[in-house]
């Protein structure tokens, strides 16, 4: 006589159609009173019971895999749809393009629960042959965030993407800066163009393009307070940007920059051309008076570069900021002062991002000592 199984041990039966043992157990009930059943199958009774115990353990740990058919593409689509509510439309479009082009096309059909760290490592290594390290890091971040969201919703046990390191990709286009002669030629070539004031202010203040595109006349002071003690020079208040939240990149980026005389002249002329615009109007706009985007700026920038005798595809507006750093460094301005003017939280950012534009100041000690001891000789 067989012994009756105790309550909670579940059932075990042979499925003729599948030719497998099926172990089942009721683990709970839905709010509607329907039983929640977990099943495990195997070629032997022991294998079936082992599979069932794994399912029960997953359920009790709060990691029940109720979406066994979930794919990597499903997780990415869910994240793109619901996980980017605070991002700008441009950022969303950029992320979606990267996801569709580089992740879904390679890993999208893979079942999420079957995705392994080895799969991700191989995918990243293959991409490293064609993409820059920065792009690889972004792709890894996008996939990681999508799988994290899926894990938080009980669609996968763990995030294997977080276990993978990002390899070094192809070397990107190195940053560069204008020489003093090239900078002068560019300023001359910009005269009379729609981008004249923009180029002058960017090159002579080092403000980011995202900051200048959000600048309004309310934050421009073209006269200053010359009779105050001490005098207050003309300035621009870099307090906003075109980012999704309207704030600057960091808290330190929120700064007020004194305007060189050439900037004051260019902005005064620009102000007059706009017909005494209201304070709330953007300083730099398209011919139609709408806000500039990076494509507008690049299109208007390239003819100026060509007129200056430079290679248009080889230069972008962001390199005006690099040139600002380089020209200051060549003139002996300390890295601490340059970091403050650039709105960096510390000199480490300035050194890492603009290392090619900084003069090798460590040599200055030897130069000074030679001068001292030559004088005494």
Q: Which of 155, 213, 321, 322 is catalytic?
A: 321
Measured CA to CA, the distance from residue 220 to residue 206 in angstroms comes to 16
The b-or-e profile of 58-80 (16+ CB within 10 A means b, else e) is ebeeeebeebeebbbbbbbbbbb
Sheet holding 20-29, edge to edge: 11-15, 20-29, 35-42
Q: Which of 140, 196, 322, 344 is catalytic?
A: 344
- Residue 92 annotated among the catalytic residues of the structure: no
Report angle CA 349, 350, 351 to the nearest 5 degrees: 90
Q: Which of 208, 213, 240, 322 is catalytic?
A: 208
- Residue 59 annotated among the catalytic residues of the structure: no
> Hey, what are 190's tokens?
């910009």
Compute the CA torsion angle 291, 88, 104, 66 (nearest 10 deg).
-160
Residues in the chain: 377
Nearest to 193, CA basis, from 309, 301, 282, 277: 301
- Residue 356 annotated among the catalytic residues of the structure: no
Measured CA to CA, the distance from residue 123 to residue 281 in angstroms comes to 48
Q: Which of 39, 100, 182, 249 is catalytic?
A: 249
Report angle CA 183, 215, 226 to the nearest 5 degrees: 75
Catalytic residues: 208, 249, 321, 344, 354
């Amino acid at each position: 006589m067989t012994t009756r199984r105790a309550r909670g041990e579940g059932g075990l039966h042979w499925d003729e159609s599948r030719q497998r043992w099926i172990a089942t157990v009721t683990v709970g009930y839905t709010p509607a009173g329907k039983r929640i059943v977990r099943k495990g199958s195997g070629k032997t009774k022991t294998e079936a019971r082992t599979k069932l115990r794994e399912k029960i353990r997953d359920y009790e740990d709060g990691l029940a895999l109720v979406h066994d058919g979930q794919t990597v593409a499903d997780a990415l689509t869910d994240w793109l749809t619901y996980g980017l509510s605070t991002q700008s439309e441009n950022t969303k479009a950029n992320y979606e393009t990267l996801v569709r082009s580089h992740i879904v096309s390679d890993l999208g059909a893979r079942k999420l629960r079957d995705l392994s760290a080895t799969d991700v490592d191989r995918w990243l290594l293959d991409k490293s042959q064609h993409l820059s390290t920065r792009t690889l890091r972004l792709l890894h971040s996008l996939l990681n965030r999508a799988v994290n969201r899926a894990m938080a919703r009980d669609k996968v046990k763990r995030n294997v993407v977080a276990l993978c390191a990002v390899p070094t990709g192809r070397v990107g286009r190195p940053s560069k800066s204008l020489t003093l002669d090239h900078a002068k030629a560019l300023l001359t070539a910009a005269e009379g163009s729609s981008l004249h004031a923009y180029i002058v202010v960017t090159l002579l203040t080092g403000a980011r393009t995202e900051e200048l595109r959000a600048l309004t006349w309310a934050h421009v002071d073209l006269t200053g307070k010359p009779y105050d003690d001490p005098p207050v020079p003309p300035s621009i208040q870099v307090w906003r940007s075109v980012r999704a939240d309207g704030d600057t990149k960091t808290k330190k980026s929120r700064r007020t920059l004194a305007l060189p005389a050439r900037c004051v002249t260019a902005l005064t002329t620009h102000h007059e051309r706009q017909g005494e615009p209201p304070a709330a109007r953007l300083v730099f706009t398209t011919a139609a008076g709408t806000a500039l985007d990076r494509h507008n700026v690049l299109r208007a920038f390239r003819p100026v570069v060509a007129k200056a005798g430079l290679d248009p595809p080889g230069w972008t507006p962001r390199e005006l900021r690099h040139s600002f750093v380089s020209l200051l460094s060549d003139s002996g301005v300390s890295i601490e002062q340059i970091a403050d003017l650039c709105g960096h939280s510390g000199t480490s950012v300035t050194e890492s991002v603009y290392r090619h534009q900084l003069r090798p100041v460590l040599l200055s000690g030897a130069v000074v000592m030679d001068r001292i001891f030559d004088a005494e000789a």
